[in-house]
Structure 1
Amino acid sequence: MTFATVMVSLALDQPNDARLQVAGDLAARFDAGMIGVAAAEFAPPLYFTTGEQAQDLIEQSEAALQTRLAELERQFRSVVGGRAASLNWRSALDFPVRHVLAQVRAADIVVTGSMPPGLSDSFTVASPKDLVMQTGRPLLVVPDNATGLDLSTVLVAWKETPEARRAVADALPLLAKAAKVVVVEIPEDTSDYGACEARIADVVAWLGRHKIVASAKVEQPGQGRNVAARLDAVAADLSAGLVVAGAYGHSRFRELVLGGVTEHLVTRTARCVLLSH
Structure 2
Amino acid sequence: MSYKSIVVQLDTSERAHSRLKYAVQFAKQFNAHLSGVFSTFSPDPRSFYVMAGSAEYFESHRTFRQERHDALERIFLAEILREGISGQWVDRNEYASDAIPRYARYADLVIAGQDDPNDPESFIADHFPETLVLSAGRPVLFIPYVGVFPTLGENVMVAWNGSREATRAVHDALPLLQRANRTTIVMLNDPKDESRGSRIPGADIALMLARHGIKAEVAELDGIDDVPLGDVLLSRASQLNVDLVVMGAYGHSRWQELIMGGATRSMLESMTVPVLMSH
Q: TM-score, normalised by structure 1?
A: 0.82
**What is the DSSP-based 3-state SS (H/G/I as helix, E as strand, rest coil) of the residue aligned with 1:72?**
helix
| Aligned twin of 1:22 | 22
Identify if the C-alpha distance between structure 1 residues 117 and 165 changes in structure 2 by more than 3 Å, giving closer, same or farther. Answer: farther
**What is the DSSP-based 3-state SS (H/G/I as helix, E as strand, rest coil) of the residue aligned with 1:106?**
coil
- Cα distance in structure 2, aligned partners of 1:67 and 1:117: 22
Please show how residues 95-110 of structure 1 align to structure 2 within 5 Å: 95-110=95-110
Structure 1 residue 39: Cα displacement? 1.5
What percent identity do the matched residue pairs reach? 30
Identify if the C-alpha distance between structure 1 residues 258 and 18 changes in structure 2 by more than 3 Å, giving closer, same or farther. Answer: farther
| Aligned twin of 1:3 | 3
Please show how residues 43-192 of structure 1 align to structure 2 within 5 Å: 43-44=43-44, 47-49=47-49, 65-83=65-83, 85-116=85-116, 124=124, 127-144=128-145, 145-187=147-189
Structure 1 residue 187: Cα displacement? 1.8
**What is the DSSP-based 3-state SS (H/G/I as helix, E as strand, rest coil) of the residue aligned with 2:246?**
strand
Does structure 2 conserve the Cα–Cα contact (< 8 Å) formed by 1:188 and 1:222? no
Q: Which runs of 5+ in 2 are unaligned?
A: none
The RMSD of aligned alpha carbons is: 3.5
**What is the DSSP-based 3-state SS (H/G/I as helix, E as strand, rest coil) of the residue aligned with 2:234?**
helix
Identify if the C-alpha distance between structure 1 residues 85 and 209 changes in structure 2 by more than 3 Å, giving closer, same or farther. Answer: same
Structure 1 residue 84: Cα displacement? 5.5
**What is the DSSP-based 3-state SS (H/G/I as helix, E as strand, rest coil) of the residue aligned with 2:6?**
strand
Does structure 2 conserve the Cα–Cα contact (< 8 Å) formed by 1:25 and 1:149? no
**What is the DSSP-based 3-state SS (H/G/I as helix, E as strand, rest coil) of the residue aligned with 2:12?**
coil
Structure 1 residue 198: Cα displacement? 6.8
- Cα distance in structure 2, aligned partners of 1:206 and 1:224: 31
- Cα distance in structure 2, aligned partners of 1:195 and 1:146: 41
Structure 1 residue 239: Cα displacement? 1.1
Does structure 2 conserve the Cα–Cα contact (< 8 Å) formed by 1:12 and 1:69? yes
Structure 1 residue 243: Cα displacement? 0.4
Does structure 2 conserve the Cα–Cα contact (< 8 Å) formed by 1:129 and 1:256? no
Identify if the C-alpha distance between structure 1 residues 114 and 59 changes in structure 2 by more than 3 Å, giving closer, same or farther. Answer: closer
More displaced 10-residue stretch of structure 1: 262-271 or 122-131: 122-131
Structure 1 residue 269: Cα displacement? 0.7
Alignment deviations for residues 31-73 of structure 1 (CA, whole Å, 9 cap, x no partner)? 11111011135303685547xxx99998887666544432221
Q: Match for 1:242 among 229, 232, 244?
A: 244
Aligned residues: 270
- Cα distance in structure 2, aligned partners of 1:257 and 1:111: 26
Alignment deviations for residues 81-101 of structure 1 (CA, whole Å, 9 cap, x no partner)? 433620101012222222212
| Aligned twin of 1:32 | 32
**What is the DSSP-based 3-state SS (H/G/I as helix, E as strand, rest coil) of the residue aligned with 1:110?**
strand
Structure 1 residue 160: Cα displacement? 2.4
